[in-house]
């Protein structure tokens, strides 16, 4: 009669709280209270803060590191770098941003991981952005990858992943127009103070060297000798370098890293990429179209004979795909002797997949048309 079912909510064991834990909690609470109090006592002046931000990005050293750029799906994606967002947050005032490793564990595959949290807080408006994510202690390689054991490697991996999330958090709490104005000022600074001296070009070659990018690769991209580079091209190359440095892209997305590119694979393949001029490029497009037509005819014949389509794509169809390179279109525009010839070369721009290269070619086309207009006036 006296037997009672034990309550699932009763007799809970209290977790022992150490003196160190209580001290850490008190310190963190006091820091937050002091920062909130200081933010209310010394609120930011948006006008002065914006002036300081714009003035900061007039420094060439900061402007060079202010943006990253990479290509995805044929579209160029640009944005403020981690260094730029840290500089903006410092001048915008009353912003607290950080990351921390909350815990560690082992997943179902037996690989250790860290649970990391990135956060940014505007102490004045009490706006907060928090991102939590998992970082496996694993490094991928071409041979598959391996687990990280050294604490330094683990910390560097977590820090690299966390800094990108901190940047995203800062972008969420800082007004977008403030960031856009800072990036516009950085662009203006780079265009006005881009260093095209031989010493600066030597430094740029040294910076690109670890990625396997040589002087020939760069000259092929800019379509001129390195000693004749323009300030706008220097700015573009610095964005490419920032993207490679931050692992946002790979060298072959920006440069032709294969010396054997454009070699014919067999009969019916388009002419090699080394062919010059508008006529050669158009012949390659026609050859590609014929190759596709031949492949389609073969597929139709197989369907009629066997009663069903061949599930495997025809290899000749792949090799016959039309390819028009940036160098071919640029050479055709530079070699044009009339406005009609320039317009004919400009028709090939639509076959270039990279958005940045298309933009550069369109700028070259407008510059050539302006030259022809001046000659007629």
What is the 3-class SS of the chain, one letter each residue? Answer: CCCCCCCCCCCCCCCCCCHHHHHHHHHHHHHHHHHHHHHHHCCCCHHHHHHHHHHHCCCHHHHHCCEEEEEECCEEEEEECHHHHHHHHHHHCCEEEEEEEEEEEECCCCCEEEEEEEEEEECCCCEEEEEEEEEECEECCCCCCEECCCHHHHHHHHHHHHHHHHHHHHHHHCCHHHHHHHHHHHHHHHHHHCCCCHHHHHHHHHHHHHHCCCHHHHHHHHCCCHHHCCHHHHHHHHHHHHHHHCCCCCHHHCCCCCCCCCCCCCCCCCCCCCCCHHHHHHHHHHHHHHHHHHHHHHHHHHHHHHCCCCCCCCHHHHHCCCCCCHHHHHHHHHHCCCHHHHHHHHCCHHHCCCHHHHHHHHHHHHHHHHHHHHHHC
Q: Strands of 127-136's sheet, edge to edge? A: 95-106, 112-122, 127-136
356 Cβ contact partners less than 8 Å away, ≥ 6 residues apart: 69, 71, 76, 236
Looking at residue 352, what is its pLDDT?
79
Check if the beta carbon of residue 277 is closer than 8 Å to that of residue 332.
Answer: yes
Mean pLDDT, the chain, as a whole number?
A: 78
**Cα angle 250, 253, 256; round to 5:** 110
What would the two tokens of residue 268 be? 């019916």
* Residue 138 exposed, middle or buried by CB count within 10 Å (0-12, 13-18, 19+): middle
Backbone angles phi, psi at 75, to 5 degrees: -115, 135
Looking at residue 164, what is its pLDDT?
92
- Taking the C-alpha atoms of residue 352 and residue 262, their distance in angstroms, rounded to an integer, is 15
* Residue 196 exposed, middle or buried by CB count within 10 Å (0-12, 13-18, 19+): middle
Domain ranges of the chain: 22-181, 196-253, 277-376
- Taking the C-alpha atoms of residue 250 and residue 198, their distance in angstroms, rounded to an integer, is 26
What would the two tokens of residue 189 be? 């600074």
Check if the beta carbon of residue 91 is closer than 8 Å to that of residue 52.
Answer: yes
Looking at residue 313, what is its pLDDT?
45
Looking at residue 145, what is its pLDDT?
86
Looking at residue 42, what is its pLDDT?
92
What would the two tokens of residue 212 be? 């396997």
Tell me the Cα Rg of the chain.
Answer: 29
254 Cβ contact partners less than 8 Å away, ≥ 6 residues apart: 71, 221, 240, 243, 244
What would the two tokens of residue 279 be? 């006529």
- Taking the C-alpha atoms of residue 186 and residue 242, their distance in angstroms, rounded to an integer, is 14
Side-chain-side CA neighbours of residue 162 (13 Å): 23
**Residue in 117, 127, 132, 118 with CA at minimum distance from that of residue 175:** 127
Residue with tokens 């031989």, as numbered in its chain: 198
What pLDDT tens digit does each residue of the chain (377 aa) get?
566 676 665 555 555 567 776 777 788 888 888 888 998 899 999 999 999 999 999 998 898 888 887 767 667 778 899 999 999 999 999 999 999 999 999 998 899 999 999 999 999 999 999 999 999 999 988 788 899 999 999 999 999 999 999 999 999 999 999 999 999 999 888 887 777 888 989 999 999 998 899 999 998 888 888 888 877 788 888 888 888 887 777 888 888 877 534 433 343 434 443 334 455 555 555 555 455 454 444 544 444 444 444 444 444 444 444 567 877 777 777 777 777 777 777 778 777 777 777 777 777 777 777 676 665 54
- Taking the C-alpha atoms of residue 210 and residue 344, their distance in angstroms, rounded to an integer, is 39
What would the two tokens of residue 214 be? 């040589």
């Amino acid at each position: 009669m006296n037997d009672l079912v034990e309550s699932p909510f009763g007799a809970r064991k209290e977790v022992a709280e150490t003196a160190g834990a209580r001290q850490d909690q008190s310190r963190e609470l006091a820091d937050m209270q002091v920062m909130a109090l200081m933010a209310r006592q010394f609120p930011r002046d948006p006008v002065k803060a914006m002036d300081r931000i714009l003035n900061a990005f007039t420094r060439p050293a900061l402007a060079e590191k202010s943006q990253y750029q990479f290509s995805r799906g044929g579209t160029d994606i640009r944005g403020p770098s981690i260094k730029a967002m840290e500089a903006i947050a410092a001048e915008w005032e009353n912003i607290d941003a950080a990351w921390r490793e909350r815990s560690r564990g082992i997943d179902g595959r037996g690989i250790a991981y860290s649970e990391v949290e990135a956060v940014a807080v505007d102490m004045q408006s009490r706006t907060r952005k928090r991102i939590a994510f998992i970082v496996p202690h694993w490094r991928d390689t071409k041979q598959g990858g391996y687990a990280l054991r050294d604490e330094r490697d683990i910390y560097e991996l977590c820090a690299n992943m966390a800094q990108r999330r901190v940047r995203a958090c800062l972008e969420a709490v800082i007004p977008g127009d403030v960031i856009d104005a800072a990036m516009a000022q950085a662009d203006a600074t780079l265009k006005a103070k881009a260093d095209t001296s031989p010493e600066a070009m030597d430094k740029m070659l040294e910076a690109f060297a670890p990625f396997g990018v040589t002087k020939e690769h760069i000259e092929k991209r800019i379509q001129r000798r390195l000693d004749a580079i323009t300030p706008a091209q220097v700015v573009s190359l610095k964005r490419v370098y920032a993207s490679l440095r931050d692992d946002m892209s790979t060298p072959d997305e920006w440069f032709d890293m294969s010396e054997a590119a454009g070699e014919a694979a067999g009969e019916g393949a388009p002419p090699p990429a080394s062919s010059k001029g508008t006529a050669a490029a158009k012949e390659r497009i026609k050859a590609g179209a014929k190759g596709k037509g031949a492949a389609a005819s073969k597929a139709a014949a197989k369907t009629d004979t066997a009663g069903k389509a061949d599930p495997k794509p025809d290899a000749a169809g792949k090799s016959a795909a039309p390819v028009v390179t940036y160098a071919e279109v640029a050479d055709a525009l530079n070699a044009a002797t009339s406005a009609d010839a320039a317009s004919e070369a400009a028709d090939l721009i639509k076959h270039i997949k990279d958005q940045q290269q298309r933009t550069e070619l369109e700028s070259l086309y407008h510059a050539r048309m302006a030259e022809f207009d001046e000659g007629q006036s």
